[in-house]
A and B are shown apart, each in its own frame.
Chain A
Amino acid sequence: MLFNSHVFLAFLLVTLVGFQFLSKRHVEAGKTWLVAASLFFYGWWKFSYLALLLGSVCGNFLLAGFISRAREDGRSTTSLLSFGVAANLGLIGYFKYAGFFVETANALAATGLPVPQIVLPLAISFFTFQQIAYLVDTARGETEKGKFLDYLLFVTFFPQLIAGPIVHHKEMLPQFAKPQSANFSRNLSIGVTIFILGLFKKVGIADEIAPYADVVFDAAANGYAPTLFEAWTGALAYTLQIYFDFSGYSDMAIGLGWMFGIRLPLNFFSPYKARNIIEFWRRWHITLSRFLRDYLYISLGGNRYGVPRRFVNLFLTMLLGGLWHGAGWTFVMWGGLHGFYLIVNHGWRALIPQRSTSWLSVSLSWLVTFIAVVVAWVFFRAVDFPSAMLVFNGMWGGNGVAFSHEFAGALPFDPTVFGAQLVSQLPLLASSRPLLLIVPGIVICLALPNTIEFMRRYRPVLDPTHVVPSVRHRQWWAWRPALHWSVITAVIGIYAALNLARVSPFLYFQF
């Protein structure tokens, strides 16, 4: 069940009414209802995998209990924790990576092993990571003994279940222990507004741009070498598609959380405004960065063993972060590229600690960062290396230059004088529409406040990385429950509702 579907809206309405009705009478009944709704939400996709989710939750809760008891008794928790982490990784390894490993082995050693056809359970990467974190923190003595119902809700809470954010037990369990069913009107107003903004980003922007990315990358997958203009159109279209897709999804998750009185952690904060890659990763998929830092990078040694080891740890962390996104070498390449970028960024900072604040320097930093991110997205989107290289080559002009007639007509010079062709092989790009979406899209990313800033008077998220600036003064554009905002939100909501029928999955749906 996708957030951007009619069936989800019906589900949400029923869940919300039931929750409000029950939790006013009995808190535990409200939570039980929410768990039941979350399980229904998960089971809607594939009922048989509900057992897997429940098995994983029960197993991890039980194991956490054993670890906690061992710790209280002064016994070692290493073997129990190792077993728990291995079991979780084994689960995700089998369902998500078995086929990938077998294919790789077949390719490298010609083993000829049959490739298992396993349906990837929805959200397995999310609920596995959340529970590994819980086990590790239990072994560290950093968890409180909680009720099973709260733990179950922590893992299965449907707004964050299928595509994050990767919530941390320290943030969520205290909220689930004391849900805020009071202030319903306030919670609902804020929640509905954020949800509508997210829905609009998804169906009104991301889905509109998506065909222009698809046409280029699909053509490349079929062996077509896109020209300079086509390759950049495809790469930038995908850069914006994934931005608005993920940003929209994150907003919807936050909005849904608010409707049930739960604040989720910040996951996305205008990453394309970043002026370096370190900052980019403080703004993009923040909860994944946090997980990788706390449970992988630090476990590998972090920065405790000198600079070279630190860079190796950083690179390994990003490689595995790439693999987390998908079982394919293009994802590994994407992670590797970001690892390389981060090493360069840290190295640069070590060499030149003074940071210039001049306009030129800031603009150049932003541009280099943005292009680096766009290049990495090519590998993330491409179905394989050859097609990624075709697009990549096109971006450097290696496949020739071709403009659409409309675009060429808008240029102040005649591009054919410089050898450019005027016929595009991809008819979908033979208009000015992709440009009319891409340019405003970039402007929105760079110039407008994001949803969190727009709503920040109400502290809509938990902010684990402290990137959200504090509220210093009242801003005219900031949301408040006023008549004009209700009308504007309604208009945005109507547009989003009319675009709902084209069901398209979130890009982060099956990670």
Chain B
Amino acid sequence: MQKKYRTYLIVLMSSLCMVLAIIVGSAVVIDPYALYREHEEYVGLNKFARLIKPQWAVSAEPEVVISGSSRAEYFFDTESLQEQMGKPVFNIALSGANIYEVRRHIEHVVAVAPVNTMIVGLDFFMFNAVRDVQPGFSEDRLAVRMNGRANPFYWAADLGATLASRDAFNEMRRAIKYRNRDRSCEGRWNLQGGLHPSYFECQLNQAAGQQSMFRAGLGVYLSHSNGIFGEFEFDTRPLPSNNMENIDRLISLAEEGRKLILYISPVHALHLEVFKKWNLWSEFENWKKILTRKVAEAHAKGVRVELRDFAFVSELTSGPVFEREAGTDVAFYDTNHLNMTQRPRVQEELLGRGRTNNPISVLLTPEMLDDHLASNRAASADWNQTHPIEMAVFDELVGAAADKAAQN
């Protein structure tokens, strides 16, 4: 009797183990996530970025880490930045990340690599209380726990997902089918975590065009129910949340001898109109004030930290979009993703090597902040008045978003 059960168990377990071993072996050989062998780039979908990037960061051993939302993920040219700085660079920025997620991923990279410079792109939406971490985020895969202690088993967290999962299986099939073929309309990462803006380039060149992309981007930020600005509440909840304490934590990493470059991502003047539409302008300014104060306090203590603002009306951000024939020469792909042609300028400004006349960024200090905010307020009002065609499209999109909300 027992023999029957033993045979059953042996067949069952050996079949299970054998098939899973074949899948695991194939995952290692085919390497769909570029984890086990050198690949020039990884072509895939954004949904795996949160799974893969923390693992890539371990093998990249960067000294410079870049973080932020998709704006930072698309924007930096990690290879040229690496050449400029003479240090290994890794971009751990993630689409849609809130500040909590940004901070946690930086803590992870700092724990696994000899990081001495952190460049963090900050966006206002990251501090919205109703914006949760994005699907795919996992505390378990980060080398530092929420309470600051080391997580010695972080490397094991995604073994199942990358070696023996349905996603891994599908990615293997995709890798076999498509590897080394031209797929410029899909997200392509280099192994330093930089996301090539081929998606935007493809959209510009093929179908949608810049004006459509601006319309789509504004549509998202004007939407009433997407948890970006439709329901915005400046986060003051205790951690883990998107509150300003995350900035304190980043500064505390800088207190350990690292340099922290915080910058407020450039957005087009139309994007600034979104803040006005949602009556968030004063909250937006208040957010800049809090950031500036925190940075100044840390700076006074000798911490190497600076805060640079790109999110104001400037030569970079004020180009007309709808007043011209559809073209590709505006500095942005949409309202908030900077065109790759602008990379050298912004990277130079960030590294303190920018032009002094007609700057596209401002180093924020408490002494000049009020003047800067007032000047931006005036410049934005002026832009609004002098760009009636832009504002007509904007108002049309506001109306469309309101109609949609009313229908719902």
Q: Does B213 lie at the interface of the complex (its beta carbon under 8 Å from any beta carbon of A)? A: no
**B5-13, B63-71, B91-99, B105-113: which lies at the interface:** B5-13
Tell whether, in the assembled complex, residue A189 and residue B5 are in contact, meaning their CB atoms are under 8 Å apart: yes
Q: Does A299 lie at the interface of the complex (its beta carbon under 8 Å from any beta carbon of B)?
A: no
Residues of A within 8 A of B368 (CB): none
Question: A482: which of B8, B15, B20, B159 is its contact (CB, 8 Å)?
Answer: B8
A133, B159: Cα distance in complex, Å: 43
Given A186-B2, A224-B408, A225-B408, the answer on whether A498 and B23 have CB atoms closer than 8 Å is yes
User: Are B165 and A498 in contact, CB atoms less than 8 angstroms apart?
Assistant: yes
- For residue B167, CB closer than 8 A to chain A, the reply is yes
B225 near A222: Cβ-Cβ < 8 Å = yes
Interface window among A287-295, A301-309, A428-436, A487-495 = A487-495
The CA-CA distance from A225 to B406 in the complex, in Å, is 11
As a 0/1 sequence over residues 390 to 408 of chain B, the CB contacts with chain A under 8 angstroms (1 = contact) are 0000000000000000011
Given A224-B408, A425-B408, A498-B169, 4 more pairs with CB closer than 8 A: A186-B2, A481-B4, A499-B166, A501-B165
If A223-B408, A225-B408 touch, does A185 touch B2 (CB 8 Å cutoff)?
yes
Contact present for B6 and A185 (CB under 8 Å): yes
B352 proximal to A (CB < 8 A) = no
Task: Pick the residue among A188, A189, A482, A490 that contacts B16 (CB under 8 A).
Answer: A490
**Complex Cα gap A405–B16 (Å):** 41
Cα separation A359 to B6 with both chains bound (whole Å): 46
Q: A487-B15, A498-B164 are in contact. Are A223 and B225 (CB under 8 A)?
A: yes
Chain A residue contacts of B152, Cβ below 8 A: none
Interface string of A474-491 (1 = CB under 8 A from B): 000000011101110110
A192: chain B residues at CB < 8 Å are 9, 12-13
Q: CB-CB < 8 A to B8: which residues of A?
A: 189, 481-483, 485-486
Q: Out of B7, B12, B13, B164, which one reaches A497, CB within 8 Å?
A: B164
- Complex CA–CA separation, A224 to B158 (angstroms): 36
When the two chains form their complex, are residues A493 and B12 in contact, meaning their CB atoms are under 8 A apart?
A: yes
Number of interface residues of B (CB under 8 A): 29
Q: B85 interface residue, CB < 8 Å from A?
A: no
Contact pattern, A 237-248, Cβ under 8 Å of B = 1, otherwise 0: 000000000000
A140 at the interface (CB under 8 A from B): no
Kindly identify which residue among B4, B16, B161, B407 contacts A493, using a CB–CB cutoff of 8 Å: B16
Let me know if A6 and B11 touch, CB within 8 A. no
Contacts of B161 in A (CB 8 A): 501
B300 at the A/B interface (Cβ < 8 Å)? no
CB-defined contacts of A497 to chain B, threshold 8 Å = 16, 20, 164
> In the bound complex, how far is the Cα of B166 from the Cα of A183, in angstroms?
35
- B11 close to A224 (CB less than 8 A): no
Give how many A residues have a beta carbon under 8 Å from the other chain's beta carbons: 29
Contact A498 B166 (CB under 8 A): yes
Interchain nearest-CB distance for B146 vs A (Å) = 12
Find the residue from B8, B13, B19, B165 having the highest chain A CB count within 10 A: B8
Give the residues in chain A near B160, CB-CB below 8 Å. 6, 500-501
A490 contacts which chain B residues (CB < 8 A)? 11-12, 15-16, 19
Residues B152-192 near A (CB distance < 8 A): 158-161, 164-169
- A185 CB to nearest chain B CB (Å): 4
Shortest distance between the CB of B22 and any CB in chain A (Å): 10
One digit per residue, 1 when the CB lies within 8 angstroms of any chain A CB and 0 when it does not, for chain B 1-42 equals 110111111011101100110010000000000000000000
**Using Cβ atoms and an 8 Å threshold, which residues of chain A touch B7?**
481, 483, 486
| Bound-complex Cα distance A192 to B2 (A) | 16
Query: In the complex the two chains form, what is the Cα distance from A189 to B5 in whole Å?
Result: 6
Residues of A within 8 A of B23 (CB): 498
Give the residue name and chain of the B residue nearest to A490 (CB): B15
Q: Give the residues in chain A near B166, CB-CB below 8 Å.
A: 498-499, 501
Q: Which B residues touch A193, using CB under 8 A?
A: 12
Given A223-B408, A497-B16, A500-B165, A185 and B9 contact (CB-CB distance below 8 Å): yes
25 CB-based A-B contacts, threshold 8 Å: A185-B2, A186-B1, A186-B2, A188-B5, A189-B12, A192-B9, A222-B225, A224-B408, A482-B8, A483-B11, A486-B8, A486-B15, A487-B12, A487-B15, A490-B11, A490-B15, A490-B19, A494-B20, A497-B20, A498-B165, A500-B165, A501-B160, A501-B164, A501-B166, A502-B165
Counting chain B CB atoms within 10 Å of each CB, the highest count among A482, A489, A501 belongs to A501
Main secondary structure of the interface of B (DSSP, over half): helix
CB distance from A165 to the nearest CB of B (A): 25
Which 8 pairs, one residue from A and one from B, show the smallest C-beta to C-beta distance? Answer: A501-B161, A501-B165, A481-B8, A490-B15, A185-B5, A486-B11, A6-B160, A486-B12
Whole-angstrom distance from the CB of B219 to the nearest CB of chain A?
14
Q: Which residues of A contact B9 (CB under 8 A)?
A: 185, 188-189, 192, 486
Please tell me if the beta carbons of B408 and A6 are within 8 angstroms of each other in the complex.
no
- Nearest chain-A residue to B227 (Cβ)? A222
Q: Across the two chains, which residue of chain B brings its CB closest to A187?
A: B5
Cβ of B141 to closest chain A Cβ, rounded Å: 12
Which B-chain residue is minimally distant from A503 (CB atoms)? Answer: B138
The residues of B that contact A6 with a CB separation of less than 8 Å are: 159-160
In Å, the complex CA distance between A185 and B11 comes to 13
B199, chain A: closest CB distance, angstroms: 19
Residue of A nearest to B14 (CB): A490
Complex Cα distance, B16 from A489, in Å, reads 9
* Residues of the A chain whose Cβ atoms lie less than 8 Å from the Cβ of B19: 490, 494
* Chain A 173-227 residues near chain B, CB threshold 8 A: 183, 185-186, 188-189, 192-193, 222-225
CA distance A490 to B8 in the complex (A): 10
Which residues does chain B contribute within 8 Å of A498, judged by CB atoms?
23, 164-166, 169
Query: For the complex, what is the distance from the CA of A486 to the CA of B15, rounded to whole Å?
Result: 9
Question: In whole angstroms, how far apart are the Cα atoms of A485 and B4 in the complex?
Answer: 12
Contact residues in A for B169 (Cβ distance below 8 Å): 498
Shortest CB–CB separation between residue A428 and chain B, in angstroms?
13
CA gap between A57 and B167 in the complex, in Å: 42
Q: CA A192 – CA B407 in complex, angstroms?
A: 51
Name the CB-closest residue of B to A222: B225
What CA separation (Å) do A500 and B159 show in the bound complex?
A: 11
Picked from A224, A481, A500, A501, the residue with its CB within 8 Å of the CB of B5 is A481
Contact A487 B165 (CB under 8 A): no
Output the least CB separation between B49 and chain A (Å). Answer: 16
Q: Which residues of A contact B165 (CB under 8 A)?
A: 498-502
Give the distance to chain B from A495, nearest Cβ to Cβ, in Å: 8
A497 to B168, CA, bound (A): 12
CB neighbours (8 Å) of A499 from chain B are: 165-166
* Closest chain A CB from B95 CB (angstroms): 18
A177 CA to B352 CA, complexed, in Å: 74
CB contact list, A143-179 vs B, under 8 A: none
Q: How far is the CA of A487 from the CA of B169 in the complex (A)?
A: 21
Closest to A186 in B: B5
Which of A483, A485, A501 is B167 in contact with, Cβ under 8 Å?
A501
Which one of A6, A193, A483, A485 has the highest number of Cβ atoms from chain B below 10 Å of its Cβ?
A: A6
- List A residues 102-153 near B (Cβ within 8 Å): none
User: Which chain B residues border A483 with CB–CB below 8 Å?
Assistant: 7-8, 11
B16 touches A494 (CB 8 A): yes
Query: In the assembled complex, which residues on chain B have CB atoms less than 8 Å from the CB atom of A500?
Result: 160, 165
A225–B4 Cα distance when bound, in Å, is 57
> What residue of chain B has the Cβ atom nearest to residue A399's Cβ?
B408
- In Å, the complex CA distance between A359 and B158 comes to 52
Nearest Cβ distance between residue A20 and chain B, in whole angstroms? 13
A residues near B12, Cβ cutoff 8 Å: 189, 192-193, 486-487, 489-490, 493
Give CA–CA (A490, B9) in the complex, Å.
10
Q: How far is the CA of A485 from the CA of B5 in the complex (A)?
A: 11
A355 to B169, CA, bound (A): 53
CA distance A192 to B11 in the complex (A): 13
A262–B398 Cα distance when bound, in Å, is: 63
In the complex, per-residue mask of B136-160: 1 if CB is within 8 Å of any chain A CB, else 0: 0000000000000000000000111
Assembly CA distance A493 to B23 (angstroms):
14
A489 to B10, CA, bound (A): 12
- Tell me the nearest residue of chain B to A479, going by C-beta: B8
Residue of A whose beta carbon sits closest to that of B4: A481
* Most chain B CB atoms below 10 A, which of A189, A192, A223, A482: A189
